[in-house]
């Protein structure tokens, strides 16, 4: 009897731990819900045309309105300044947040970038929108997305996609220059994000 009770307790504990570790999900988007892609040149589509930037391709793949709110050179600090106006104008249901690359290029302290990302997420959530965090790799050979993306995602219970830009920017066939994708690379980003949104329950 005691052994059976211990076994039952162990199974319950395993179920609870699995639930805690489950990736955060998103509410299902309605057909008319707006998605805003908020970021820097990687969102803007530098290295390709506007219709081959990842937000445009994602819109065609999902049948949703995806606003390209990418500004080349944007940092997490300047992003904080312009975010409220973007949220007020488009009233998105979901924001794809992809910032931090220019902070790294300008050697900003990681703690400041991480804190700004948290403030960006809070601002988006305060507007009523959901957030997907997109990590970008460090601008150095073999540099994956820094750990602060995972910390923000874990602490704030965010879906995190931190692999696709790393994969694209390590493949010369998918790059327009050392830090930007080409049209084929942005298509790969859009395809992975569409799959990611389906897995998270948004589509």
Asked if pLDDT for residue 11 goes beyond 80, the answer is no
Asked if pLDDT for residue 20 goes beyond 50, the answer is no
Question: Which tens digits make up the pLDDT trace of 161-196?
Answer: 999 999 999 999 999 999 999 999 999 999 999 999
Q: 13: pLDDT confidence band, cut at 50, 70 and 90?
A: very low
Q: 21: pLDDT confidence band, cut at 50, 70 and 90?
A: low
Question: Which segment of 16-30, 35-49, 74-88 scores lowest on mean pLDDT?
Answer: 16-30
Spans of all domains in the chain: 2-200
Asked if pLDDT for residue 14 goes beyond 50, the answer is no
* CA dihedral over 28, 32, 38, 44, signed as positive or negative: positive
* Length of the chain as a residue count: 203
Helix runs in 98-179, H state only: 101-105, 110-126, 147-156, 164-168
Asked if pLDDT for residue 85 goes beyond 80, the answer is yes
* Alpha carbon distance 68, 89 (integer Å): 13
pLDDT of 53? 98
pLDDT of 184? 98
* CA dihedral over 159, 163, 165, 168, signed as positive or negative: negative
Question: Which tens digits make up the pLDDT trace of 26-41?
Answer: 999 999 999 999 999 9
pLDDT of 22? 67
β-sheet bridge partners, residue 202: none
Question: Which tens digits make up the pLDDT trace of 122-172?
Answer: 999 999 999 999 999 998 877 799 999 999 999 999 999 999 999 999 999
- Three-state helix/strand/coil letters over 22-57: CCCCCCCCCCCCEEEEEECHHHHCCCCCHHHCHHHH
Question: Which tens digits make up the pLDDT trace of 40-58?
Answer: 999 999 999 999 999 999 9
Which one, of 50, 59, 57, 44, lies nearest residue 179 by Cα?
44
- Three-state helix/strand/coil letters over 89-112: HHCCCEEEEECCHHHHHCCCCHHH
Fold of 2-200: Rossmann fold (3.40.50)
């Amino acid at each position: 009897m005691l052994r059976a009770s211990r076994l039952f307790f162990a199974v319950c504990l395993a179920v609870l731990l699995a639930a805690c570790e489950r990736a955060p999900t998103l509410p299902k988007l309605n057909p008319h819900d707006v998605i805003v892609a908020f970021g820097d040149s990687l969102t803007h589509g530098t290295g390709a045309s506007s219709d081959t930037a990842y937000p445009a391709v994602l819109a065609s793949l999902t049948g949703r309105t995806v606003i390209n709110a990418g500004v080349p050179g944007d940092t997490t600090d300047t992003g904080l300044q312009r975010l409220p106006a973007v949220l007020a104008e488009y009233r998105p249901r979901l924001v794809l947040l992809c910032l931090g690359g220019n902070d790294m290029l300008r050697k900003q302290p990681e703690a400041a970038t991480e804190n700004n990302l948290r403030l960006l997420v809070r601002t988006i959530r305060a507007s009523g929108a959901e957030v997907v965090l997109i990590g970008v790799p460090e601008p150095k050979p073999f540099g994956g997305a820094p750990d602060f993306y995972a910390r923000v995602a874990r602490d704030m219970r965010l879906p995190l996609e931190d692999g696709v830009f790393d994969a694209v920017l390590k493949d010369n066939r998918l790059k327009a220059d050392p830090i930007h994708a080409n049209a084929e690379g942005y298509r790969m980003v859009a395809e992975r994000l569409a799959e990611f949104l389906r897995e998270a329950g948004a589509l």
